[in-house]
Structure 1
Amino acid sequence: MSIPGKVARAIGAAGATVVLSLTLAVAPAQAGYGTLMGCPEGYVCLYPSASWNKNHPSMMWYYYGAYNLSNQWGMKRIFNNQTGTAFVRTCLQYNGIQCDNILAPLLYADLNFDPINSVLLSTY
């Protein structure tokens, strides 16, 4: 191959690399899930029955930690609208002790809240 051919091939390869780099640099960031069923992104929401309650949760939690419950009985829907490795667990005792059910992001469960006294938001 001639020297001009090698130079042209090298310039073409470099140009492809630059185009590829620019394409990757301007790719949009992955969008979040946003508000789902009335529950803002990043929150865990509790609904007053085993339904979405017309997208109106009765309780919402955002920060990691234990949340003690009072006057929460019967069937309720709990929805984890957190992202990444943020999980929610329901606990039989106050202060996030003796937890059993675990919900990964974007999952919900219809549970009997009679024995549940707290919820725990944490990373896995």
Structure 2
Amino acid sequence: MRKIAMAVTALSLAVGTGLAVAPSATAAATPCPSGAVCIRETNGSILSKNIFYSYGAHNLSNVTGYRVVVNNQTGGAGFRECRGYDGTNCSPVYRNTGEYEPIDYTPINSIVLVK
């Protein structure tokens, strides 16, 4: 009987700890500032180095794995994802505002903001 009581207590503590520690996806998401394009980290946060305001090419550093891009620019401005540095070998322009589906950023080396 004692073994069962200890197992139930251990299970209760494990479940309780898991619920208290695990944040929801919404709580972990950091908002992208107005007028910017942002690349989210895998945990939902946004590093200051991955917030872009100015038009033109921005080279990326250590941005790998599946990432979500948020276009929060105004006036119909868009962005392009590029395999080369300095805005070369790029995708078409994406102009919709909001979050985009996650894509693998491992081969992406720059992002270009366009009017």
How would you bin the TM-score normalised by the shorter chain? 0.5 to 0.7
Structure 1 stretches of 4+ moved >3 Å: none
Matched residue, 1:45: 38
The TM-score normalised by the length of structure 2 is 0.66
| Aligned Cα root-mean-square deviation (Å) | 1.9
Unaligned 5+ segments in structure 1 are 1-36
Shift of 1:121: 0.2
Aligned counterparts of 2:41 and 2:57: Cα–Cα separation in 1: 20
Aligned counterparts of 1:41 and 1:78: Cα–Cα separation in 2: 14
Matched residue, 2:112: 120
Matched residue, 2:97: 106
Larger Rg: 1
Unaligned 5+ segments in structure 2 are 1-29
| Aligned 1:2-21 pairs, distance under 5 A | none
Matched residue, 1:60: 51
Q: Secondary structure at the match of 2:86?
A: helix
Please state which structure has a larger fraction of its residues in strand.
Answer: 1
Q: Deviations over 1:72-97 (max 9, x none)?
A: 11101111000112101100100011
Q: Deviations over 1:57-85 (max 9, x none)?
A: 12200010100011111101111000112
Matched residue, 2:62: 71
The TM-score normalised by the length of structure 1 is 0.61
- Aligned pair count reads 84
Aligned counterparts of 2:92 and 2:69: Cα–Cα separation in 1: 11
Aligned counterparts of 2:96 and 2:73: Cα–Cα separation in 1: 5
Q: Deviations over 1:83-122 (max 9, x none)?
A: 1121011001000111115321413221100110000001
Is 2:43 aligned against 1:88? no
Aligned counterparts of 2:92 and 2:61: Cα–Cα separation in 1: 19
